[in-house]
A and B are shown apart, each in its own frame.
Chain A
Amino acid sequence: MTSSQPLIRMQNIEKHFGSVIALAGVSVDIYPGECHCLLGDNGAGKSTFIKTMSGVHKPTKGDILFEGRPMYFADPRDAIAAGIATVHQHLAMIPLMSVSRNFFMGNEPLRKIGPFRFFDHDYANRVTMEEMRKMGINLRGPEQAVGTLSGGERQTVAIARAVHFGAKVLILDEPTSALGVRQTANVLATIDKVRKQGVAVVFITHNVRHALAVGDRFTVLNRGQTLGTAKRGEISAEELQDMMAGGQELATLEGSLGGTV
C-alpha cells in the first residue's frame, strides 16, 4: 500500500450465469506494489472473479475502476493492453520452444533489413537472459527449451514476461498448487521481487501458508461473497482457514483430524 489510490477498484461485482449467482456483490481494491491474496475453497467464485477482472467475463452488476476511471473490457486483449496480465497455471509456456522464443511470443522484436522485417534474435536473447538473471534463474542459454525448466521456473518465466511487457496488475491463478516445496519458494520469491517493482499482484490460492508467506492483504471468498479483507498481521492462519471453509463445517472436521488441516 504505497499509494493512496487503488489501481483497480472492484465495486459490488455481481456475476450471474443463468440462474446461478456466481458472485453476489464482491468489492476488492488492489493497490500498486501490494500482493493481494484471494483465498477461497473450490467453487467459491475465485476464478469467476479474476476472469471478470481480466476481461473474460463482463460483470452482471457492479463497477470496475481502473486507475480511477471506469473500465469496460470487451475482451482479454483490452485488459492486457491496459496492463492487466493473467498468468495461467498451465497455459503459459510452450515446452518445445526456447525460453527466448517463449518470452517474446506474440511480442516479437523486429529488425529491419532492407524491405524485410526479421525476428531480432540477438535482442530477444539478451533481454531474456537479463530478465531471467533478475529473477534468479540461470539459464544455460536463451535457446534452452522451456521443457527443460522446472514447473516453478516456468511460472517465473511467465511472470517475468508479463512484467517486462508492462503489466501493472499481475493475476496469478494458483501458481503454486502443482509445485513442490522448493519450487513454491522460488515462485513466492518471484512474487516478492515483482511487488517491489511496484506491480500489483493478485495471488489466487487455497493454500493459507503460501498466502501468508507473501501476502500484504487477504480477501476470502466464500459462496460468491467476500468475508472482508484483512491486513497482514491482523489475521492468523487458523482464522483464514476457518473463513475459507465457512467456519462451521471445518470445526467439526478439525475435531476428527486433530487440527492438521
Chain B
Amino acid sequence: MTDVQTQVAGDERIKHRSRFREALIRPELGGIIGTILVFAMFLIFAGDSGMFNSQGVLNWGQISAQFMIIAVGACLLMIAGEFDLSVGSMIGFAGMLIAIFSVTLGWPVWMAIIVTFVIALAIGALNGYIVVRTGLPSFIVTLAFLFILRGFAIYLPQTIERKTIIGGVSDAAQGDWLAAVFGGKILTGLFQWLGDNGWIAVFERGTRKGQPVVDGLPMLVVWAIVLVIVGHVILTKTRFGNWIFAAGGDAEAARNSGVPVNRVKILMFMFTAFCATVFAACQVMEFGGAGSDRGLLKEFEAIIAVVIGGALLTGGYGSVIGAALGALIFGVVQQGLFFAGVESSLFRVFLGLILLFAVILNTYIRRIITGER
C-alpha cells in the first residue's frame, strides 16, 4: 500500500490502480484507439493519394461533420435511455419542408428554415410525449415515425410539384441571412492567407487563379464542432447533464430523487429532431434543393457512431466526445477507402468489423469502470 493517506481502513479486495491506468480507462477510450488506428492505416495506405491535402481533409471532414451532427443528438438521447429511429426520415422530411416553403410557396428562406425547425421540434416533442406517456419502447414509437415522416417526404412533393426532388433553393437563398448560417463558409480570409503562403493548394490557372481550392470552413463543419462542444459541456458539466445520465441509468431511481425524467426525455427527443433539421438545412443549402430520399439509413449510422464512441445501448452511460470520434472514424473510413482505391462496397465490411471491435472493447472498458458483471 503506497497511498496510505487515503486508505484509512482500506478494503483489501480493492486493487490499487495507477494514475495512468485511471486516466486511460474512460468511456471514449475505444473511440480514441479506433481513431488512431484508422488514421494510422490511411496514412500508410493512402498517405500520398491526396487524402491529407486541403481538399482531401475537407472531403472527409465534411462527411464526418455530417455524422457528428446527428450523432450528438442520438448520443444524448441514448444516454437518456431512448432511441430515435426517425432521424433519417426527419432529415428527408425537414429538407423537403424547407424546399417547399421557400421554392413552391415562395417564402423567404429564413422564414422557411425557422418554420421547419418549429415543426421538427414539435414532432420531436410528440415522439417524446408518446414514449413517456404510453411507456412504449421508443424503438417502436420512432419506428412508426420513420415511416410516417418518410411517407410525407415523398407524398408532399409528389402532390404539390409532381416530382420527388425540389430544386431552386440556391436562387431563393441568395443573400438570405439565415441560409448563410447553414450553407455559408467562414474564415475565408484565413484560407486565402494560407493559400498565399503556400500552405494549402491554390488554383493554378483559370478565372480563380491564385484563390485557394478550399476557400473557407463550411458552416456544416462549424455546426458539428459547436454541437459537439455544447453537447459535451451540457452532459458532463451541468445539472441537466446529470439528469440525462440519471434518466437513462434508472428512471425510477431518478424520479425518487426528484429528477424530472419525463421532461428530460422529451427535451432529448426534441434535441435529436433539432440536430436532424440542422443536418437537413445544411444539406439543402449545399445541394440547392431537397430530395425525398435524403437521409436514408442515417438513424443507424448515427447509432453506430454513438456505440463506437462507447455509449451503452440501454442508456445511462456514454460520451459525446466518444460519439464525435465514432463519427470521425465513420467519415474517414468511408472516404479513405475511396482515396486508397479500394472497392467501395468493402466499406460496409470494414464498418461492420470496426463496430464489432469497438463494441467488444467498450464493453470491457465499461465493466472496469462501472463494476457491472
B80-138 at interface with A (beta carbon < 8 Å): none
Asked if A147 and B370 make an inter-chain contact with CB atoms under 8 angstroms apart, the answer reads yes
Q: How far is the CA of A88 from the CA of B242 in the complex (A)?
A: 21
Please name all residues of chain A whose beta carbon is closer than 8 Å to the beta carbon of B239 when the two chains form the complex. 108, 110, 117, 119
- Inside 8 A of A141's CB, which chain B residues have their CB? 22
Q: Which A residues are CB-close (under 8 A) to B242?
A: 101, 104-105, 108, 119
Q: Which residues of A contact B257 (CB under 8 A)?
A: 105-107
Asked if B371 and A145 make an inter-chain contact with CB atoms under 8 angstroms apart, the answer reads: yes
Instruction: Tell which of B5-13, B39-47, B280-288 binds the partner.
Output: B5-13
Q: Which of B6, B246, B371 contacts A105 (CB 8 A)?
A: B246
Q: How far is the CA of A34 from the CA of B271 in the complex (A)?
A: 49
Could you say which residues of chain A place their CB within 8 Å of the CB of B371? 95, 145, 147-149
Query: Cβ of B259 and Cβ of A106 under 8 Å apart?
Result: yes
Complex alpha-carbon distance, A108 and B264, angstroms: 15
B31 vs chain A, min Cβ distance (A): 18
- What's the Cα separation between A140 and B8 when bound, in Å? 11
In the complex, whether A97 has a CB less than 8 A from a CB of chain B is yes
Tell me whether B184 is interfacial, beta carbon within 8 Å.
no
A106 to B239, CA, bound (A): 8
Nearest CB in chain A to that of B246: its residue:
A105
Contact pick for B256, options A92, A95, A138, CB 8 Å: A92
Is the C-beta of B223 less than 8 angstroms from some C-beta in chain A?
no
Chain A neighbourhood of B316, CB < 8 A: 94, 96-97
Contacts A101-B242, A117-B238, A138-B6; is A96 near B249 (CB within 8 Å)? yes
Q: Does B245 contact A (CB under 8 A)?
A: yes
Number of A-B residue pairs, CB cutoff 8 Å, is 85
> Which residues from chain A contact B372 at a C-beta distance below 8 Å?
95-96, 147
For A140, what are the chain B residues with a Cβ–Cβ distance below 8 Å?
14, 17
A78-110 interface bits toward B, Cβ cutoff 8 Å, 1 = contact, 0 = none: 001000001010011111110001001111101
Chain A residue nearest in CB terms to B315: A96
| Chain A, residue nearest B256 (CB) | A91
Cα distance A121–B259 in the bound complex, in angstroms: 18
Q: Which residues of A contact B187 (CB under 8 A)?
A: none
A96 touches B258 (CB 8 A): no
Asked if B241 is at the interface of the complex by the 8 Å CB criterion, the answer is yes
| CB-defined contacts of A247 to chain B, threshold 8 Å | none
Chain A, Cβ-Cβ closest to B249: A94
Contacting residues, chain B, for A138 (C-beta < 8 A): 6-11
B370 touches A95 (CB 8 A): yes
From A117, A138, A141, name the one whose CB has the most chain B CB atoms within 10 angstroms: A138
- A136 CB-CB contact with B under 8 Å: yes
A148 B253 Cβ-Cβ under 8 A: no
Q: Knowing A91-B252, A105-B246, A106-B257, say if A96 contacts B10 (CB, 8 Å).
A: no
Q: Is A196 among interface residues, defined by CB-CB distance under 8 A? A: no
CB contacts (< 8 Å) of A209 on chain B: these are none
Residue of A nearest to B252 (CB): A91
Whole-angstrom distance between the Cβ of A111 and the nearest chain B Cβ: 10
Report the separation of the CA atoms of residues A101 and B22 in the bound assembly, to the nearest whole angstrom: 18
Which of A88, A110, A148 has most B Cβ within 10 Å? A148
B residues within 8 A CB of A91?
Answer: 250, 252-253, 256
B254 within 8 Å of A by Cβ? yes
Q: Does B303 contact A (CB under 8 A)?
A: no
Question: Interface readout for B353-373 with A: 1 if CB under 8 Å, 0 if not?
Answer: 000000000000000011110
**A residues less than 8 Å from B312 (CB atoms):** 96
B237 interface contact, C-beta 8 A:
yes
A77 close to B258 (CB less than 8 A): yes
> In this assembly, does A133 line the interface, its C-beta being within 8 Å of a C-beta of chain B?
yes
Is there an interface contact between B8 and A133, defined as CB atoms closer than 8 Å? yes
Contacts of A106 in B (CB 8 A): 246, 254, 257-259
List, in ascending order, chain B residues with CB within 8 A of A145's CB. 369-371
CB distance from B128 to the nearest CB of A (A): 20
C-alpha spacing A95/B241, complex, angstroms:
16
Interface residues of B in 114-166 (CB under 8 A from A): none
A118 interface contact, C-beta 8 A: yes
> Do B238 and A118 touch across chains, with their CB atoms under 8 A apart?
yes
Least distance between B264 CB and chain A CB atoms (Å): 12
B67 CB-CB contact with A under 8 Å:
no
Is B8 a contact partner of A95 (Cβ separation < 8 A)? no
A residues 132-153 touching B (CB-CB < 8 Å): 133, 136, 138, 140-141, 145, 147-149
Instruction: Say yes or no: is B317 at the interface (Cβ < 8 Å to chain A).
Output: yes
A113-130 interface code vs B (CB 8 A; 1 in, 0 out): 000111101000000000
Contacts of A107 on B, CB cut-off 8 Å? 257-258
Given contacts A80-B258, A105-B246, 4 further A-B contacts (CB under 8 A): A97-B249, A105-B259, A119-B238, A149-B371
Q: Which residues of A contact B (CB under 8 A)?
A: 77, 80, 86, 88, 91-97, 101, 104-108, 110, 116-119, 121, 133, 136, 138, 140-141, 145, 147-149
Residue pairs across A and B with Cβ atoms less than 8 A apart, 17 shown, are A86-B256, A94-B249, A94-B254, A95-B370, A95-B372, A96-B312, A96-B317, A97-B249, A104-B242, A105-B242, A105-B257, A106-B254, A107-B258, A116-B238, A117-B239, A136-B9, A141-B22
